[in-house]
Amino acid sequence: MAATVDKWVMTLKAVAEPASTLLCFPYAGGSPETFRAWCGGIADDVEVLCVILPGRGRRLREPRYERWQPLVEDVFEALSPHLNRRHAFYGHSFGGRLAYELARLASAEYPGMTRRLFVSGCRSPDMPQRRPYMYQMTESDFRGAVGKMGGTPAELFEHERLLRLLLPTVRSEIRLAEIWNHRHAAAVDVPITALYSPDDPIESQQTMRGWRRFTKRHCELLEVPGGHFFVDSHPEYVTEIVNTRLGSFNGDDRSFGSGSGGSPEDQRD
């Protein structure tokens, strides 16, 4: 079925009567195509939506957000029509931070509907950001750093006009990711599945272990292959984990095994 698009939300996989909705959030400057590629591997009864922020696609020329609070408030309002039924959040890197902030609001406003938060390649809120900050780099250094990170097609760097359009969004969202910190007194009342890669040069098992302190429920830390952008390179591992955990929509927050990617570290406070 062809995807439908509105200002904030792109439907990547429509289901007539979904058992759940998976709300996806890309990495800084990332594309919905990451999650579109998952759709064939996601369970048939799961609807897949992707959030589109200013600075991407049809919203390329809209002003980008400079602060977390208005970003979270506006995205939450835009997603509200989708939050009064069973749903889960999946965010990678910058998207993981945004997914966490939204899961906090959604679980309070729509009790029992937010059944799981998936965060991948994303440090926990109490883990200090590595310095120096990328967003403070000169233009040439920033381009070099983005290229080394991966996730941006190499051929894009051969198209100067397009690069000039897209890099401000990448820098803006990397800035938000880098200045993000522990902003809330209470833990989120949602089980968390955190995914990391041992080959990730940006986030490691160590920077993600702290997620257990930010949920009142179950937290597991799972290893998957593929470096920082494993959501692009190894979707089959991620979708199997997602399917297994979304199968837990019976109110039971125990671990449901390791899925692909090794044994989970089951953690509770």
Q: What is the CATH number for 135?
A: 3.40.50.1820
Residue in 58, 51, 3 with CA at minimum distance from that of residue 173: 51
Positions of E strands within the chain? 4-5, 9-13, 20-25, 46-51, 87-92, 114-120, 192-196, 219-223, 265-267
Q: How confident is the model at residue 261, as a pLDDT? A: 43
Average pLDDT, 10 consecutive residues per value, the chain (269 residues) = 68 96 95 93 97 91 95 97 97 98 97 97 95 92 86 63 86 96 92 97 96 97 96 96 80 37 44
Here the tokens at position 183 are 């902003």
- Number of structural domains the chain divides into: 1
φ, ψ dihedrals at 99, nearest 5°: -60, -40
Q: How confident is the model at residue 159, as a pLDDT? A: 67
Q: How confident is the model at residue 3, as a pLDDT? A: 44
Q: How confident is the model at residue 88, as a pLDDT? A: 98
Structure pTM? 0.89
Q: How confident is the model at residue 156, as a pLDDT? A: 62
Q: How confident is the model at residue 18, as a pLDDT? A: 95
Q: How far apart (Å, rounded) are the C-alpha atoms in residues 141 and 146?
A: 9
**Residue 3: strand, helix, or coil:** coil
Query: What residue numbers bound the domain in which 80 lies?
Result: 4-267
Residue in 15, 21, 41 with CA at minimum distance from that of residue 240: 41
Q: How confident is the model at residue 244, as a pLDDT? A: 96
Q: How far apart (Å, rounded) are the C-alpha atoms in residues 260 and 201?
A: 21
DSSP state for residue 238 in the 8-state scheme? H
Residue in 149, 162, 171 with CA at minimum distance from that of residue 29: 171
Q: How confident is the model at residue 153, as a pLDDT? A: 58
